[in-house]
Amino acid sequence: MTKKILVVDDEAKIVNLVKSFLIQAGFSVVAAYDGKEALTVFKMSSPDLILLDLMLPDLDGYDVAREIRKQSTVPIIMLTARSDAEDRVVGLELGADDYVSKPFHPKELVARVRAVLRRIEDQSVPNTIQVGELRLDLDRVEAHWQGRLLDLTPMQFQLLVTLAAHPGRVHSRESLLDALTGTTYAMTVRAIDPHIKNLRRKLGDDPHNPKYILTVPSMGYKFADRSSE
């Protein structure tokens, strides 16, 4: 499932720039240009993460964060042109998950977004993942398929965990590569394909008609959700 990011900034140029890089990275984006609009869009769109500028008309970023924290634990990354450490402390005390100073590089901001989302997601992943005949033991770093222990490399195991933790969710190649390496820029995103091929082989999945690790054209891969079968 594509993650939705709410970008809140009163400068349209910044919103458009950040939006462009986030969409390129596989996210969907909604935007707001002042504090009141931010709260309205938040309630209507239920974003997975908020990029929140502090200096906003009507309601500033602190007030917006206070209102959101009354009803949600959605991750918030605060954006500011200030360098005052006190501002950072106040923001973090309000429940911000990260803090980025302007000017920033859009690629760095995207990396921060991914890091926060990954951290939140990792906290929700249980020590054992069971999907049909697949059982993943995260503590022992073991994968059992149809009762037998799979011989997986560390990268293959992490890739299988990422896919199987959310059956049916589509993962872009960028997000899968980021989950494996922490960055999408050190390697080409097509580097993920050989790992998928090897995982399918070890699961006994037909490469021409896979049943477990499915290709979603123009989007990426997903682990089949067979709960309704």
Phi, psi of 205 (to 5 degrees): -85, 135
The model's confidence at residue 229, banded by pLDDT at 50, 70 and 90, is very low
Please name the fold of domain 125-223: Arc Repressor Mutant, subunit A (1.10.10)
How confident is the prediction for the chain on average, in pLDDT? 84
Domain spans of the chain, in order of start? 4-123, 125-223
Q: Span 97-123, mean pLDDT? A: 84
Which CATH number is 4-123 given? 3.40.50.2300
Q: What share of the chain is helix, strand, coil (3-state, %, to 5)?
A: 40, 20, 35
pLDDT score for 185? 42
Q: pTM (2 decimals)? A: 0.55
Summarize the confidence of residues 16-32 as an average pLDDT.
93
Residue ranges with strand state E in 120-194: 128-131, 134-137, 142-145, 148-149, 171-172
Domains 4-123 and 125-223 share a fold: no
Q: Quote the tokens at residue 70.
A: 């009354």
Mean pLDDT of 107-123: 83
- Residue-wise pLDDT tens digits, 168-202: 888 888 888 777 755 444 456 577 888 899 999 99
